[in-house]
Chains A and B, each alone.
Chain A
Amino acid sequence: MRMWAPLGLVLLWASMALLGFVVPLAPEHIDLSKILVPGGAEEWLGYDDLGRPILDRLIMGARTSFFVAFAVVGLSLCVGTMIGTFGAFMGGWVDHALVRIIDVFLAFPGILLAIALAGVMGPGIDNVVIALSAVGWVGYARLSRAQVLTVKERDHIHAAIAIGTKPLRIMVRHLIPLVSAPLIVEASFGIAGAVIAEAGLSFLGLGVQPPAASWGSMIREGTRYMLVAPHLVITPGVAIMAVVLAINLFGDWLRDWLDVKDQTRLG
């Protein structure tokens, strides 16, 4: 039962992201007579500093965060899992070198490397995806490596090696399916992390460029008018918090449901 509320919110987020393709929106329509007008019956969420409708911009921001989050997690999950599985399966110096590379990436605290990469490569949504994936793959590589190490000595793997199955096939068909549960749980929390990270980069001015909308850049633009129009900052912030909270709750439920030990979050 406890999954329905979070799942509902995540689905709302997804449908907001897709809504922009169906319903005509005017997130970049400037109406100077409505500058900073708060929400009301006519336009629920009010207007921003250029008189643009906040609801429309919120929906466009949902699209930004949705596609960036799924692109980043999809990319990091694939690359990280392949690298981690490869290292654990091959063993020896390959594995050793990979562990060192992972260590180097883990030496950059939190979002720092992503900020530096996005800052150096220049702003833009594609660079945000690249920067966050360049940081994100490490977690999945470490997790998949640790998981594969625990299952690679099983009989069916030895059997597969004995009948001459190619390494790639063993990894994709026999190893990765066995270790997918913790990776899926990690990925669900990864979506939440990517939503915050994208908004954070956009808040710093490194993400989407104006006039395009992101929840992070909406907060950035709104802070200048906080005293007269706090709704500019409150609305996108509530959206981020609701989505991240829902994904985290969903991830918690998923972890219990798939019966994965709570090692992914703390370690």
Chain B
Amino acid sequence: MLQFLVSRLITATVVVLGVMCLVFALIHLVPGDPVEVMLGESAQPADKEALREALGLNQPVHLQLLDYLARLVRLDLGTSIYSRRPILDILLERIPATIELGIAALWVATFLALPLGILAAMHRNTLLDFGAMGFALVGVSIPNFWMGPMLILVGALWLGWFPVSGREGFMSLVLPALTLGTAMAAILSRMIRSALLEVITEEFIRTARAKGLTEWRVIAHHGLRNALLPVITLLGLQLGALLGGAIITETVFSWPGIGLLVVEAIQRRDYPVVQATVLFISLSYVLVNLLTDLLYAWIDPRVRIQKGP
């Protein structure tokens, strides 16, 4: 286990360094002079020089990179050009909203996907199966930025049950969570179905059936427990889709999380904020994947011995 832990930690560190370098490179992809783009052409030369100095853009690139990494180590993410506040403060302000939305969406996804996946697997190749998987296919084909407005149209404008946008109370959470959750439910139900179908062919399921257990007990106690293991790891990977989807969902509903922050910062050409937010989202994604890997290895010892590709 220790060997596995160390090797995974080394890989993760390399990835984190790579992510930092790539995020650093973002500002150099701005066409023309980034300072001029950020401040506008009419800005005072003194202001431009001050920003260039603050961002370290007047130094050679390799020194800039080292400086950037050194500042990251000290948790110094810089200052927002738009609001002139420390970016770390802005991020900390926005993170709870995204976590709230993410957890709510996960609930929606699990609540929808678990029964669908189980029913589809138990009644394989029947109308029920085709119906559930049809739902899943439609679910992955509906983009968030259309699902959101449609839910607003029905739930907020026609029925008037939920607020159109913003983050005030539980009711405002429902529509964004549904938008983000259904897309995930579609993928999740397919995973649960295929994982369960794989487990069902195992010997111990035959034993359980031979013991005379009810079909429900066989599935719930013997099938699902073993099927959920691979689903958990895949769920870690799906967090990426969740975070990516959150950017668009938060924009649709003006949900004040870090996804909306990226979009706002892009529109305001506040590139230090864009960099910091992208970095934060990616690093949390890397961290969660590392944790699911380790959790999985801890639960299933076979993983530790296997070498990755």
Contact = CB atoms under 8 A, between A and B. Distances in A.
A100 B15 contact: yes
Contacts of A244: 141, 143
Contacts, number: 143
A110 B26 contact: no
Interface string A158-192: 00000000000000000000000000000000001
B283 to A, nearest CB: 8
B29 A108 contact: no
Contacts of A234: 150
B191 A146 contact: no
A36 B271 CA distance: 37
A245 B143 contact: no
Contacts of A233: 146, 149-150, 153
Contact of B141 (A112, A121, A192): A192
Contacts of A227: 153, 157
A91 interface: no
A51 interface: no
Interface stretch (B92-100, B217-225, B239-247): B239-247
A109 interface: yes
Interface residues of A, number: 49
B11 interface: yes
B140 A219 contact: no
B286 interface: yes
B267 interface: yes
B262 A115 contact: yes
A249 interface: yes
Contact of B22 (A104, A109, A241): A104
Interface stretch (A25-33, A69-77, A198-206): A198-206
B285 A245 contact: no
Contacts of A104: 15, 18-19, 22
Interface residues of B, number: 52
B137 interface: yes
B172 interface: no
Interface in B42-90: none
Contacts of A249: 137
Contacts of B150: 233-234, 237
Given A109-B241, A120-B27, A115 B266 contact: yes
Interface string B134-149: 0001101111111001
Given A120-B30, A236-B146, A266-B191, 14 more contacts: A105-B22, A108-B282, A112-B244, A112-B247, A112-B282, A116-B266, A121-B29, A222-B149, A223-B252, A226-B153, A237-B149, A241-B141, A245-B137, A248-B137
Among all A-B residue pairs, the 9 with the closest Cβ atoms: A110-B244, A104-B18, A109-B240, A119-B266, A237-B146, A245-B141, A244-B141, A109-B243, A203-B145
29 contacts: A100-B14, A100-B15, A103-B18, A107-B15, A107-B19, A110-B244, A112-B281, A115-B247, A115-B262, A117-B26, A119-B274, A120-B27, A204-B251, A206-B266, A219-B146, A219-B149, A220-B145, A223-B152, A226-B152, A226-B153, A227-B153, A227-B157, A237-B150, A241-B141, A241-B146, A244-B141, A245-B138, A248-B137, A266-B191
Interface of A: 100-101, 103-105, 107-113, 115-117, 119-122, 146, 149, 192, 196, 199-200, 203-206, 216, 219-220, 222-223, 226-227, 230, 233-234, 236-237, 240-241, 244-245, 248-249, 262, 266
